[in-house]
A and B are shown apart, each in its own frame.
Chain A
Amino acid sequence: MTIDLILFLILAVVAIATALGMLLSRNAVYSALFLVLNFATVAVFYVLLGAPFIAMAQITVYAGAIMVLFLFVIMLLGAEKTPGNPKWSDYILPAGLALVLVLESIYLLISRGVPSGEIVQPEASVNSVDFLRQMGMALFNEYLLPFEVTSILLLVAMVGAIVLTKQEKGGRG
């Protein structure tokens, strides 16, 4: 039992717990908050895995931007509590399926011999400037086209959001 493993197990428990909390909370605001916690835990995992850039992106984009947007919408619509919360019986079929799914994927993982190596703290992560340079080079050379497509996607999403939510003028009267 190394420090790494202990840390992983603790964080894993936190991640699963917060995920379940998001799932089971009756109040949507609680769910959102649980999810923020979950995202933060995952960001820690990223750091452990030697991906500090992704970890930062996770915190800023997910926890910062997306979840705030969620909370904003929940409160805007007053949808903290919606009627028709699931009964326990509602969980039987989906949970059964989910269980099967988990077991299947675990079995698949074991039987097909996915790389079973261990995660060592890479040296590159210590030198984060070097790492970021590599990241940037990859994004703007090898993955330039997907990068640009993504930027267009974001633009389209922005336009779409504006079109969907803007008030129609005059026409409705």
Chain B
Amino acid sequence: MQLSETISTGFLFLAPWLVFFPVIGLLINLIFGGRMSEKAIGWVASAASGAAFVVSVLLAYSVSAAHGEVLRWTLAPWMHVGDLAIDWTFRADSLSTTMMLVVSGVGTLIHIYAIGYMHEDVRFKSDLGRYRRFFVFLNLFIAMMMILVSGDSYMMLFVGWEGVGLCSFLLIGFWYDMDTLGRPSWANSNAAKKAFITNRIGDFGFLLAGFLMFWKLGSFQFDSVFEAAAEVAHNEPWVIVAITLFMLIGVAGKSAQIPLYVWLPDAMAGPTPVSALIHAATMVTAGVYLVTRSSELYTLVPQAQYIVAMVGAATALFAATIAVGQYDIKKVLAYSTISQLGFMVAAVGMGAYVAGMFHLVTHAFFKALLFLSAGSVILGLERGHHHLAHHGGHGGGHHEEVFDPGDMRNMGGLRKTMPVTFWLYMIGTLALAGIFPFAGFWSKDEILLDASLHYPTVYILLSIAAFFTAFYMGRQIWMVFFGEARHDAAAHAEESKPIITAPLMVLAALSILGGALNLPFEGFHNLGHWLEYTLHEVEALPLNLQVAGISTALALTAIVVSWLIYGRKPLTKGQPDPLKKPLGLIFTGMENKWFVDEGYWAVFVNRYVDISRFLADYVDWRFWHDFVHDKVIAGTYNWLSTIALNDYADQKVINWFFDGWGRATQWLSATTRKVQNGFVRSYALSIMLGVVVILGYLLLKP
């Protein structure tokens, strides 16, 4: 805050409103939502998010006006205990404003999209309460994400980190009492729990990193930590290595990297806008943001950087192979997201923070576009299905089996019925596949270029992953939009309303033009220069035609191959995937996600359940309850109270004592009673005796 006196802070005072606007939005919906119309609820939430976007723009402008100076705005003190001093301080610098813009910008578009989408969702059933709750959760998510990206300390970041985890849980399990098809089931709840628990593992790592940080570096505030880290890295490098690797666990949890990525595909159980917003564009990139934010720590320890890069690259390839074998339109995108997050993590691991952030931004655009378009496709199919159900249809298909509008095997030929969605999807696909000149081409290329210069292994892995990316996206396009409809619903699919397609068009435009943020030409490294304010070492690389050429060639080859397999001879109804026969076991592996979930079940979950059972049945029930409590404690107590205390202490000792006391008193009184014989002379004798004795005492007294 000392800085604020010397330099203009511009609109910095608005920083807390990043959080307040969404909170106000959710409070309005929470308190007055019951009396508001469906549209009003959606627009209030969207306006809240939009207001946060406006604040983000103003903050970005302020940072720009301050020439990249870090701006801080302390709202209130939080914890001041001993050496620990944490405040609610908002931090506006080029990195955090970038994240704010992405989160609130994409978030607002998705809010608007959700107004239409949630209305159309077959599970909606005019349940306005649930509709309202959805937007409350979305606003809460925006607020939490803003805390995450605008915090000036790891602790505040952690609050946001946990907050978005909570929102993720709430929204994955939004249809908690049914599965993705609306059947009564706990599938969605289980997916939510899986996401939450997996994230807890990662958060534990983050917490350990935080504790270690405070123990060894003495602070949570970013700049203090970095300052202290430089010295500690010189004396005790293991501390920084440990902090960064523990942080990597957190990153793996939140950004769905190996080995904690398993929750993200299941998270598709949430409504599609949620998948787009939380599980593609914003929350899952928090890990990338964290690594970028901690760049000064990672730069100190190349070993940790290498591990991060390898984890990212391995995840990128691994997830890409699984995506090839998926049939659910959203599952393919989910694995694609994991793969792309792998790209980003690999980039930030290599120290190519600008490339990572660049890919984060463009990915937010085109992956949100893809998810939302997929949502549009699903809605289209649902409309087709609905149409069939009402107009008799052909053979009453909906009676025979439950129709899955997300299964690509039910689609085909949507190019004709949903042309707008088709073109939007194409743009997203091309951007994701990395075709010139779409946004994905530039950002992915920058990552590959960095990798080719520093980490050949990572370069090879990522290149293969890029090939697979183009391939599975091509496969999806051919399966969904080309060929003939493999289901009556697909044949009767209808285009979505403008409220759904309008936000998509904005995203599509961004996906096309997003590359302009950071073109690899002299004078066009805009994002690089912007982030340079925060990240001190930025390597502005020129376009390397060789790398760009190879990646483009790979992508084009992959698309052609996918056309050969899926496009040239479109799938017919009920036909198995054409790759199944030639690839055999490999495809089975891809189809079944390489049995990672099953492996986790076998290795961790079942063992955990076994341990729990053991603890419950043996340790708790048999040992603790039956033995320790019933036998040892209760038994001892019983023995003590019955035998020792009652029989002996009470009956024998205390009772005996008081009985004896009573008998002694009786005996004494019976004896002394006889003294009172009523004879005057004997009383006189006692008096005489007393006189003699007292006189004797007086005599003998010294």
Contacts and interface: CB of A to CB of B under 8 A. Distances in A.
The answer to whether A and B touch in the complex, with CB atoms under 8 Å apart, is yes
Given A93-B685, A94-B685, A108 B692 contact: no
Interface stretch (B424-432, B619-627, B694-702): B694-702
A97 B689 contact: yes
Contacts of A94: 685, 688
A144 interface: no
Given A97-B685, A104-B696, A104-B699, 17 more contacts: A94-B685, A94-B688, A97-B689, A97-B692, A98-B688, A100-B692, A101-B688, A101-B691, A101-B692, A101-B695, A104-B692, A104-B695, A105-B695, A107-B699, A108-B695, A108-B698, A108-B699
A106 to B, nearest CB: 11
9 tightest Cβ-Cβ pairs between the two chains A and B: A104-B695, A97-B688, A101-B692, A100-B692, A97-B692, A108-B699, A104-B699, A104-B696, A107-B699
Interface of B: 685, 688-689, 691-692, 695-696, 698-699
Interface of A is mostly: helix
6 contacts: A97-B688, A100-B692, A101-B695, A105-B695, A107-B699, A111-B699
A155 B391 CA distance: 134
Contacts of A98: 688
Contacts, number: 24
B508 to A, nearest CB: 127
Interface string A80-120: 00000000000001100110110011011001000000000
A108 B692 CA distance: 12
Contacts of B688: 94, 97-98, 101
A110 B189 CA distance: 113
A100 B699 CA distance: 12
Nearest to A96: B692
A111 B692 CA distance: 17
Contacts of B689: 97
Interface residues of A, number: 11
Contacts of A93: 685
Contacts of A101: 688, 691-692, 695
Contacts of B685: 93-94, 97
A93 B688 CA distance: 11
Contacts of B699: 104, 107-108, 111
Contacts of B695: 101, 104-105, 108
Contacts of B696: 100, 104
Nearest to A93: B685
B128 to A, nearest CB: 105
A132 to B, nearest CB: 36
B234 to A, nearest CB: 101
Contacts of B692: 97, 100-101, 104
Contacts of A104: 692, 695-696, 699
A101 B691 CA distance: 8
B148 to A, nearest CB: 102
Contacts of A100: 692, 696
A122 to B, nearest CB: 32
Nearest to A105: B695
A111 B695 CA distance: 13
A108 B696 CA distance: 9
A112 to B, nearest CB: 9
A105 B699 CA distance: 9
A138 B375 CA distance: 131
A129 to B, nearest CB: 41
With most chain B CB atoms within 10 A of its CB, the pick from A93, A100, A107 is A100
A94 B691 CA distance: 13
B321 to A, nearest CB: 124
A114 to B, nearest CB: 13
A110 to B, nearest CB: 11
Contacts of A97: 685, 688-689, 692
Nearest to B685: A94
A96 to B, nearest CB: 10
A108 B699 CA distance: 6
A64 to B, nearest CB: 28
A22 B692 CA distance: 24
A163 B695 CA distance: 40
A2 B288 CA distance: 138
A97 B685 CA distance: 9
A92 to B, nearest CB: 12
A108 B695 CA distance: 8
A107 B698 CA distance: 11
A100 B688 CA distance: 11
A101 B698 CA distance: 12
A86 B46 CA distance: 128
Contacts of B698: 108
B487 to A, nearest CB: 129
A101 B689 CA distance: 9
B329 to A, nearest CB: 124
A107 to B, nearest CB: 6
A97 B689 CA distance: 7
Contacts of A105: 695
B696 to A, nearest CB: 6
A105 B695 CA distance: 8
A111 B691 CA distance: 18
